Structure 1
């Protein structure tokens, strides 16, 4: 921001830059900014170590030497559970990224412009869900209801956690003014 101590100086700058301001205003006239966030399905809450939540199975006491030893094959079974869990999380992540791309493609068809923002990571107010899309779209005012219906349909078709926010003043789309 620039501060001007005299009204005539501010008027001069506004007059010199009026073409840029008018271009920016024409670009966003009768449009609003809408935010769309998509969250991964089945995002784990915490470190994802489900094996720690597995119920313990009592072993047979055996001899005193055997009491502290795991059952034969326990290490292999543990590693297999971890491998399966990791593979399932990877499939969920890939599926979520595909859904995010679908959502972005569909919303872009309605929007005049779009901007992808950095997804919010863990530690946010809703840190238990993994955000895979954080985007804003410049949508004509007369298409707002169409956007809301599209997002509702995408939620139902994909089963994804999709948040729509707006309408907002289209700050993200005024460009360098």
Structure 2
């Protein structure tokens, strides 16, 4: 089916309860298109009018394979959500959520009203914080042993046996570091859950992609009430400072609560 060259779709960034959209004036989103508000029966969708020819099913299928395009869309999408979050509790939608016109946006708000309402109740007055824990045995300053090096050999021990012994000792120290990190994960999670309404565990980050030293053993998000944010951060800072040698705790945020904005059917493309 051909697409009208002038037809406009609506790219949806987030859904909130009604708020004054005046601060959004002049804000641009994906593709540099202006950001607008579509209010409907107690809900408000934050959208941009975008050319349908660029976001229909066939075009999107091709563009989702373009990593450069995805990165640009992600940056613009998150920038709009970040601009909305100080204005109202909002449910961020997934990237490239597009509907065929404003009426389809209103229909989606009707169809998934109960889902949006539950999500907004859960997110209202709350922030997301990220917590990562790393096991980093190399931070203990234990270099890899040189092959067949005679230094460090015990009396009567050949260079080859000395090398194998040092490798076993190094492996044992590394295993000890993983155990220490696992215990730290349990301690950190138990302490931070005292301040959080919910916790979401994400897949550990690949060191080759993140470039962070060590192995990521916990990659989690915590949903925290605004009134508890100071206590959460204070506790996280203490745990970070108390982390055993060979481990590392990193805390980030506050962020928009993407990790807790599950919507079931909501946000499906038209």
TM-score range normalised by the length of the shorter chain:
0.7 to 0.9
Correspondence for 1:119: 204
Correspondence for 2:146: 52
Q: Is the 8 A contact 2:126 2:225 kept in 1?
A: yes
Correspondence for 1:18: 113
Is 2:124 the counterpart of 1:29?
yes
Shift of 1:80: 0.9
Which whole-Å CA distance do the structure 2 matches of 1:167 and 1:54 have between them?
Answer: 51
Which whole-Å CA distance do the structure 2 matches of 1:8 and 1:14 have between them?
Answer: 10
Which whole-Å CA distance do the structure 1 matches of 2:193 and 2:220 have between them?
Answer: 10
Match of residue 152, structure 1, among 224, 230, 237: 237
Correspondence for 1:166: 253
Greater strand share, structure number: 2
Correspondence for 1:128: 213
Equivalent position SS for 2:128: strand
Which whole-Å CA distance do the structure 2 matches of 1:3 and 1:127 have between them?
Answer: 38
Identify the structure with bigger relative contact order (alpha carbons < 8 Å, sequence gap 6+): 1
Larger C-alpha radius of gyration, 1 or 2?
1
Root mean square deviation, CA, Å: 2.5
Equivalent position SS for 1:110: coil
In the TM superposition, what whole-angstrom CA distance separates every residue of 1:106-144 from its partner, at most 9, and x where no partner exists? 111211111111111221343422211110010101111
Which whole-Å CA distance do the structure 2 matches of 1:86 and 1:29 have between them?
Answer: 48
Correspondence for 2:164: 79
Q: Is the 8 A contact 1:51 1:82 kept in 2?
A: yes
Correspondence for 1:38: 133
Shift of 1:170: 0.5
TM-score normalised by length of structure 2: 0.54
Provide closer, same or farther for how the CA distance between residues 146 and 72 of structure 1 changes in structure 2, counting only shifts above 3 A. Answer: closer
Provide closer, same or farther for how the CA distance between residues 131 and 9 of structure 1 changes in structure 2, counting only shifts above 3 A. Answer: closer
Shift of 1:163: 1.0
TM-score normalised by length of structure 1: 0.80
The total of aligned residue pairs comes to 161
**Structure 2 unpaired stretches of 5+:** 1-96
Which whole-Å CA distance do the structure 1 matches of 2:228 and 2:159 have between them?
Answer: 59
Q: Is the 8 A contact 2:243 2:249 kept in 1?
A: no
Is 2:184 the counterpart of 1:88?
no
Which whole-Å CA distance do the structure 2 matches of 1:53 and 1:148 have between them?
Answer: 46
Provide closer, same or farther for how the CA distance between residues 95 and 55 of structure 1 changes in structure 2, counting only shifts above 3 A. Answer: same
**Structure 1 unpaired stretches of 5+:** 58-70
Is 2:104 the counterpart of 1:9?
yes
